[in-house]
């Protein structure tokens, strides 16, 4: 096995990589705490891999078999790492973020969903190849394929829609950044008042998103 790795090492020229080459593989931006997804209000968690409970709220509680779990013990924790929370009766419960499969199969529903096994098959048969989103400047420099559009008429539960959304998520543009505008009192509203720079910026942002 060591000979195989040695051959791969020589073929890939990694043995001649200098210090400057090694620097190229490192990130130029250090990872900060803001880059780590954390539980927020409105998120759902699955406890002991059995049940998905109601959305998290500040100062809220979730009743379990042995006591209650405080939502404040979950809020702010990293979503990528399962952890244990202690109930009011001192029992440890495993807390983790539900997968898409768990979310579909265990959330309350009124109709039978398209379970993940079937939804993934449907999406794979559609042969979707979503290219990463490019800004207008990048699109002029390289070939830009036509926009990918999928018409989903709805299946009742929404499970297929969630799988389609995951399949094309890579092609979505970044979220809009609307400028913060102070509210205007009704008595100051006047149709003849000229538009402010903030109004123009808002209109340009909306047009860029919809066109």
The larger pLDDT score, comparing residue 92 to residue 26, is at 92
**Domain co-membership, 115 together with 156:** yes
- Distance between CA atoms of residues 83 and 93, nearest Å: 8
**Domain co-membership, 136 together with 81:** no
**Domain co-membership, 104 together with 92:** no
Residue 5 lies in a domain: no
**Among 97, 130, 163, residue at a domain's last position:** 97
- Distance between CA atoms of residues 47 and 85, nearest Å: 9
Rounded to the nearest integer, the mean pLDDT of the chain is 73
Per-residue pLDDT, averaged over 72-94, amounts to 92
Q: How many structural domains comprise the chain?
A: 2
**Domain co-membership, 204 together with 104:** yes
Are residues 44 and 103 in contact, defined by beta-carbon separation less than 8 angstroms?
Answer: yes
Diameter over CA atoms, the chain? 81
The larger pLDDT score, comparing residue 66 to residue 20, is at 66
Confidence band (pLDDT; 50, 70, 90) for 31? very low
Q: What is the pLDDT of residues 41-62, one digit of tens each?
A: 999 999 988 888 889 999 999 9
CA nearest neighbour of 94 among 103, 106, 105, 84: 84
Residue 89 lies in a domain: yes
- Distance between CA atoms of residues 7 and 91, nearest Å: 53
Read off the DSSP letter of residue 71.
G
**What domain range is 77 assigned to?**
46-97
**Among 82, 97, 112, residue at a domain's last position:** 97
Are residues 82 and 92 in contact, defined by beta-carbon separation less than 8 angstroms?
Answer: no
pLDDT score for 6: 46
**Domain co-membership, 91 together with 105:** no
Q: What is the pLDDT of residues 112-161, one digit of tens each?
A: 888 999 999 998 998 888 777 776 665 555 556 666 778 888 777 888 99
């Amino acid at each position: 096995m060591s000979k195989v790795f040695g051959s791969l090492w020589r073929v890939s020229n990694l043995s001649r990589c200098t210090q400057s080459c090694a620097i190229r593989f490192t990130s130029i931006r250090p990872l900060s705490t803001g880059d780590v997804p954390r539980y927020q209000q409105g998120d759902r968690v699955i406890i002991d891999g059995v049940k998905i409970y109601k959305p998290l709220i500040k100062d809220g509680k979730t009743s379990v078999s042995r006591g209650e779990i405080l939502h404040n013990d979950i809020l702010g924790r990293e979503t990528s790492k399962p952890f244990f929370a202690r109930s009011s009766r001192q029992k440890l419960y495993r807390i983790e973020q539900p997968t898409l499969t768990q979310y579909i199969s265990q959330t309350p529903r009124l109709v039978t969903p398209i379970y993940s096994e079937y939804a993934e098959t449907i999406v794979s048969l559609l042969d979707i190849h979503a290219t990463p989103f490019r800004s207008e400047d990048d699109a002029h420099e390289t070939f830009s394929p036509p926009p990918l559009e999928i018409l989903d008429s709805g299946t009742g539960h929404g499970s297929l829609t969630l799988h389609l959304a995951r399949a094309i998520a890579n092609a979505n543009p970044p979220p809009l950044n609307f400028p913060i505008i102070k509210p205007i009192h009704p008595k100051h509203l006047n149709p003849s008042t000229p538009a402010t720079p903030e109004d123009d910026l808002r209109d340009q942002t909306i047009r860029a998103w919809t066109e």
